[in-house]
Amino acid sequence: MSYLEKVRACARYRPENYLPFRISGEQVGQVRLGFLPQLARFEDTFCCVKDGLNLADNLHRFEQRTEAVGRVLEGLREEGLVPGWRDEAYPVTNSFGSPPFFDMERAAVPLFGVRGYGVHVNGFVGDGGDMRMWIGRRSMSKPTGPGKLDQMVAGGQPSGMSLRENMLKESAEEANIPRSLAEEAVSVGAISYLTERPEGLRHDVLFNFDLHLPEDFEPVNTDDEVDKFYLWPMDQIMEVIRETDDFKFNSALVIIDFLVRRGFICPDDPDYAAIIAGLHR
């Protein structure tokens, strides 16, 4: 499978299967048609109309909305309809940095098709042909992508925390990177995608960082979310991405972006422009 095919595999989305989710007339997500009847039962929180799902008009304040939707999600959780519960609050917004309408349990974000955000760190050593990258294997207990390969550090963006502070926190938890070293990470942009996954509609933006590590650094997981780390040459990573599905779907995109930026995928590649366009949806 080519890099472009990997990118296009994260753009599988059939809009006819969804209706808009709105707050005060503003669309913030999309709900799958088959999930709408579950939400229609909660008439004090949601209003199902012909052309979509609206949050109840009487819910005006952040705290009201967070509490009301939280009660609904707790009920759905008890019915087994919100798998992979995290106890992590995610902001519901229409664009990154705008004031959130309310906070939502992380596991429910794909069920409403609202924007999700995260931070990923490419930790590498060496340069040029000698470059190697630290890769993590996700714990089998993870609710999404158990056992898949991943960045050395990656995590969702919770409510009430800056991207850089979240990157520093995740670096400490997932790889035991000293803060003084993690602070050397360089922000290198973002990728985005809209794709249907088993957990729902993933409409995410991942903010990426590159961290050039010393040769003698070795990551150690501290939060039980990573089973093992590997230090692989870039040729091996590139082959695994092209030939297998061993990487978590979005982690593969982050590395493809790295390969473009670092010149491992060259402008003369016939898929070059399409790859770049596909990484920003």
User: Is pLDDT above 90 for 165?
Assistant: yes
User: Is pLDDT above 90 for 186?
Assistant: yes
Residue 144 DSSP class: S
Q: How far apart are CA 277 and CA 264, in angstroms?
A: 17
Q: How far apart are CA 155 and CA 140, in angstroms?
A: 16
Intervals of CATH 3.30.750.160 along the chain: 15-113
Residue 143 — pLDDT band, cuts 50, 70, 90?
confident
User: Is pLDDT above 90 for 231?
Assistant: yes
Rounded mean pLDDT, 73-84: 96
pLDDT given at position 70: 97
Six token digits for residue 93: 């917004």
User: Is pLDDT above 90 for 69?
Assistant: yes
Q: Find out whether 110 and 202 touch, Cβ atoms under 8 Å.
A: yes
Rounded mean pLDDT, 147-169: 95
pLDDT given at position 128: 87
> Which residues fall within 8 angstroms of residue 36, CB to CB, at 6 or more apart?
19, 48, 53
Q: How far apart are CA 134 and CA 173, in angstroms?
A: 15
Six token digits for residue 142: 């993870």
Q: How far apart are CA 109 and CA 89, in angstroms?
A: 10
pLDDT given at position 1: 78
Rounded mean pLDDT, 210-217: 97
Six token digits for residue 101: 């309408």
Pick the CATH number of 15-113 from 3.50.50.60, 1.10.645.10, 3.30.750.160, 1.10.760.10: 3.30.750.160
pLDDT given at position 54: 97
Q: Could you give the angle at the alpha carbon of 156 between the alpha carbons of 110 and 21, nearest 5°? A: 30
pLDDT in tens, 32-63: 999 999 999 999 999 999 999 999 999 999 99
Q: Find out whether 228 and 128 touch, Cβ atoms under 8 Å.
A: no
Q: Could you give the dihedral angle defined by the CA atoms of residues 134, 116, 67 and 36, in that order, rounded to the nearest 10 degrees?
A: -130
Strands 226-233 and 132-138, sheet pairing:
antiparallel
Instruction: Burial-class residue 34 by CB neighbours within 10 Å (0-12, 13-18, 19+).
Output: exposed
- DSSP assignment of 254-278: HHHHHHHHTTSS-TTSTTHHHHHHH
Residue 225 — pLDDT band, cuts 50, 70, 90?
confident
Per cent of the chain over pLDDT 70 is 100
**Nearest by Cα to 122 from 9, 33, 205, 208:** 208
User: Is pLDDT above 90 for 245?
Assistant: yes
pLDDT given at position 281: 84
Residue 119 — pLDDT band, cuts 50, 70, 90?
very high
Per cent of the chain over pLDDT 90 is 94
Mean of pLDDT over the chain: 96
Amino acid in the structure at residue 75: G
Q: What is the CATH superfamily name and number for domain 3-11+116-278?
A: Nucleoside Triphosphate Pyrophosphohydrolase (3.90.79.10)
Q: How far apart are CA 26 and CA 80, in angstroms?
A: 29
pLDDT given at position 42: 97
Rounded mean pLDDT, 180-184: 98
The model's pTM is 0.94
Q: How far apart are CA 120 and CA 177, in angstroms?
A: 14
